[in-house]
Chains A and B, each alone.
Chain A
Amino acid sequence: MSEQQAEVTTDYEPRIVAFLCKWCSSAGSDLAGVSRIQYPSNATPITVPCSGSVSPMYILSALNKGADGVLVSGCHIGDCHYIEGNFLARRKIHLVKELLGFVGVEPDRFRMSWVSAAEGAKYSQVIKDFVEDLRPLGPQKKLKADRS
């Protein structure tokens, strides 16, 4: 708890939507939990069958619905439960990342990582780093739905 409080420097808490594959990254985040690893609670995990199943629409929609950052995480290359899902994800996500950067969305708002079921510590580090990188950017307003 004390560690988390120390991190709060402003009122702003970045909100992260994390798409985690069921077989590796989601299990990795579970491991972080059961190992009692402390890390910021900014990420809302959404379990998906495979990183390859993450449609660009999910990412854009998360930003549209107000996420400050989006993470897609899957099994390491070679470890995909569906053999090649993460290869497909790698290509698709590269394009999404390029496109977001192209229209001027800060590159740090979107991230991809490989986290295995055994890497609870890595998962917590990915989230910690992401939160730290997002903090200086402030709230994401570019793609957020304009309901005014």
Chain B
Amino acid sequence: MINIQDMRDTARDLLTKNEVRAVIGYRRSSSGMNAEPVVITTPEQADELVWDPTCFHNLSLYLVEDRKFLAHTRNNPGRPIAIVAKGCDARAIVVLMQEHYFKREEVYIIGMSCEGSGVLVERKLAANGIQATNASFDGDDYVFTTAQGEKRLPAREIMADRCLECRIPYPREHNVVLGEDKTGRELAEPFAALKRFEERDAGERWIFWERQFDRCIRCFACRSVCPMCYCEECVVDSISFPVNAQTTAEEKANRVRWIERSAVRSENITYHLTRAMHLAGRCIDCNECERVCPVNIPLRLLNNKMEREAREQFGYEPGASIGAPALVASFLDNDPEKFIR
């Protein structure tokens, strides 16, 4: 069990000694049960930090935001920025470093082990009829504060699927880490939903996805929340290519439009398949994309498909090592090729 005070002390200490310029963490939100991301810059703010089963946000997104901001302001802060990171978040940070988005010494990782737990899913909680104002860990249980007093539920009943299936609920890459390494504690078989889905035949699979992609409203929340979707210009925003006084009419006319922006099925599916490809070997299954989707598109299925393919066919594990090459920028002599004629 992690003592929240240890995390606060760590953050306070780092800020007091001026070792970091800020700490990205979680705080209690002004309303409701869920934690929310916060960036603190003074030692006094350390007591605001919280750690509970609603810390689902992948904060590495804010490292990306920070980097973009520094690049725009041409600022060199000198000191690193600290971040509270779960196992999956730490893997996201490793992927970003693999891609040279920032250097190891530019981040200070306060690792948080999920131990026997993980984050909860609000939908599963609602299905249990609980309306809580506060949630916390207690060994194997989640404890909720409700209007009717304290309620307990076994963690595995309302835990996110990815946490149940998590193979490494521990941030291997860290500067300091709180909690024990419980690697190998899988509470459910990995890729279970994917396996079930793949039992359907191709026709049924298409009908399923057709219905899903018909619904997507192209709000791009999935892209905005994803730490790996950091491109300054996304291939699906063909209108975002810079136009200046020197851009000729010819150039404008010949601009490639890979995908239309209209939210129709064909364009939606092209967007999502492109995104799945661009995330292959990079997505670390934080499942933030699926969580924020306003129309419940099951994006995890797509990401899981790519993840399992990379793992089974190419022995590739995303976010495992900073020095490892990217999935699609490397190969093995015996990569499968039966499909090639």
Contact = CB atoms under 8 A, between A and B. Distances in A.
Interface of A: 56-57, 60-61, 64, 77, 84, 87-88, 90-107, 111-114, 126, 129, 142-146
B203 interface: yes
19 contacts: A56-B273, A57-B274, A60-B270, A77-B337, A91-B331, A94-B335, A94-B337, A97-B339, A98-B306, A99-B306, A102-B302, A103-B205, A103-B269, A104-B202, A104-B205, A104-B207, A114-B341, A143-B269, A143-B270
Chain B facing A: main interface SS: helix
Nearest to A57: B258
Given A95-B280, A126-B341, A64 B306 contact: no
Contacts of A114: 340-341
Given A94-B313, A104-B203, A142-B206, A99 B305 contact: yes
Residue with the highest number of chain A CB atoms closer than 10 Å, among B266, B340, B341: B340
Interface in B270-319: 270, 273-274, 276-277, 280, 302, 305-306, 309-310, 313-314
Nearest to B314: A91
A146 B260 CA distance: 10
Contacts of A96: 277
Given A64-B259, A101-B202, A112 B270 contact: no
B336 interface: yes
Interface in B172-224: 198, 202-210
Residue with the highest number of chain B CB atoms closer than 10 Å, among A84, A95, A129: A95
A104 B340 contact: no
A98 B311 CA distance: 13
Contacts of A84: 331
Contacts of A99: 273, 276-277, 302, 305-306
The 9 closest A-B pairs by CB, nearest first: A104-B206, A104-B205, A87-B331, A113-B341, A56-B277, A146-B266, A103-B209, A146-B264, A112-B340
Contacts of A129: 341
Residue with the highest number of chain B CB atoms closer than 10 Å, among A64, A88, A114: A64
Contacts of B270: 60-61, 64, 143
Contacts of B267: 64, 145-146
Contacts, number: 109
Contacts of A126: 341
Nearest to B206: A104
A64 B266 contact: yes
B280 A90 contact: no
A90 B331 contact: yes
Interface of B: 198, 202-210, 235, 258-260, 264-267, 269-270, 273-274, 276-277, 280, 302, 305-306, 309-310, 313-314, 327-331, 333, 335-337, 339-341
A126 B340 CA distance: 11
B256 to A, nearest CB: 8
Contact of B337 (A90, A98, A107, A143): A90
Contacts of A61: 258-259, 270
Contacts of B209: 103-104
A143 B260 CA distance: 13
Contacts of A104: 202-210
Contacts of B331: 84, 87-88, 90-91
A114 B208 CA distance: 34
Contact of A112 (B258, B260, B329, B341): B341
